[in-house]
Amino acid sequence: MKSHHRGRGATFNPDNRYNEYRSEAVDDGWETPPGDAPRTTVEVEKPRTIITRNDSPDVPFDRSINAYRGCEHGCIYCFARPTHAWLGLSPGLDFETKLTAKPNAAELLHKALENPRYTPAPLALGTNTDPYQPIERQWRIIREVLEVLHAHRHPVTITTKSALIERDLDILQEMASKRLVRVQISLTTLEAELARRMEPRATSPRRRLEAIKTLTGAGVPTSVMVAPVVPVLTDPELETILAASAEAGAAQAGYILLRLPLEVAPLFEQWLHTHYPLKAEHVLSRIRDCRDGALNSAKFGERMSGNGEYAGLIAQRFRLAIRRLDLEEKLPPLDCSKFRRSDRQSDLFD
């Protein structure tokens, strides 16, 4: 049987898709207690390189850094869950409880930036898992990465749903004064109970709005990303979320329609039936309306926004709202001209 652990998003741990054999739980009529909630563990990973490259036409960057694999936030909709299969682990509970950290990330980044062949362009943090997930409090890897980027005057964009980003306000404020940083705060819902169930260990919606206010007040260019928009469940809040973000000081806004690649689809479906059984079929039906009758579509140009009448209506509502709320501001481009190499930075890692 599938059961729900308080403080975790996934209701079960599906087999790794690369496993030769698969198992499936069967309800034999006996009530099975949930047992103890799985604890978070962190393994050290020591990669040889840290910058990941991509050429996707759907994203506005070509390089990123992910200091962690897996994410303790436990967002049930997270499109990165299937990547845990590459570690031989499950995209379910394993993804949010069995994490890896890359403590040599800053050192590897410094080495990459010192390479004479390196050409600067905005580097993205928070593209796969949240850079400010709870374990960052102890590991402080992102703090070290920002120190290296700042020392090299290298531009960066950060996407997070955590107020922990306020810890690094000193660095971000200095980088912002040189047009080297932009921040996106991801906000899915304003309903505290829904957020607790859907993204159980992420910062509350209220605190995320406070983080927007703090960052913008410090001069850090900050936008809101309404992501994902979940048909039926959160899309009625779209205008309200945008209005609250504008009031908090967000200068710009974007949105992404819910994506359910690979194992995320059955995980999300089971989560729906566990927490919102009366709405489940309605939500799934509307998702299919936006995805050519399926729960997911990987088509470039459509995977972020969907297609069809319902997806078009969401897009139209979004455009009208950001126009009314003055969230169409075009932030100044990040400045790559200040980039510098300096062997003096090597003493950071002696």
Contact 260, 222 (CB under 8 A): no
Which amino acid is residue 136, in one-letter code? E
Q: Give the mean pLDDT per block of 10 residues along the chain (350 residues).
A: 74 76 49 66 97 88 96 97 94 97 98 97 95 98 98 98 98 98 98 98 98 98 97 98 98 97 96 98 98 93 94 98 92 94 57
Task: Please give the pLDDT value at position 1.
Answer: 40
**What does the angle CA 96 – CA 130 – CA 139 come to, to the nearest 5 degrees?**
80
Asked if the structure places residue 180 within a domain, the reply is yes
Number of domain units in the chain? 1
Q: Is there a domain that residue 89 lies in?
A: yes
Task: State which residues form the domain around 167.
Answer: 44-257
Give dist(CA 241, CA 35) in Å, integer.
Answer: 37
Give me the CATH number covering residue 190: 3.20.20.70
pLDDT at site 13: 87
Query: Is residue 302 in a domain?
Result: no
Q: Which residues contact 158 (CB under 8 A, 6 or more apart)?
A: 124, 125, 126, 131, 165, 181, 182, 183, 184
Q: What Å distances lie between residue 230 and 26, 76, 200, 259, CA to CA?
A: 30, 12, 16, 9
With respect to residue 148, please indicate whether it lies within any of the assigned structural domains.
Answer: yes
Would you say residue 165 lies in a domain?
Answer: yes
**pLDDT the model gives residue 350:** 44
Residue 169 lies in a domain: yes
Residue 143 is which amino acid? Answer: R
User: Could you tell me if residue 237 is inside a domain?
Assistant: yes
**pTM of the prediction?**
0.91
CA atoms within 13 Å, Cβ hemisphere of 182: 20
Residue type, 248: A
Residue 212 lies in a domain: yes
Q: Is the dihedral of CA 171, 174, 178, 183 positive or negative?
A: positive
Nearest residue to 284 via CA among 275, 274, 296: 296
Given a contact cutoff of 8 angstroms between Cβ atoms, the answer to whether 15 and 89 are in contact is: no
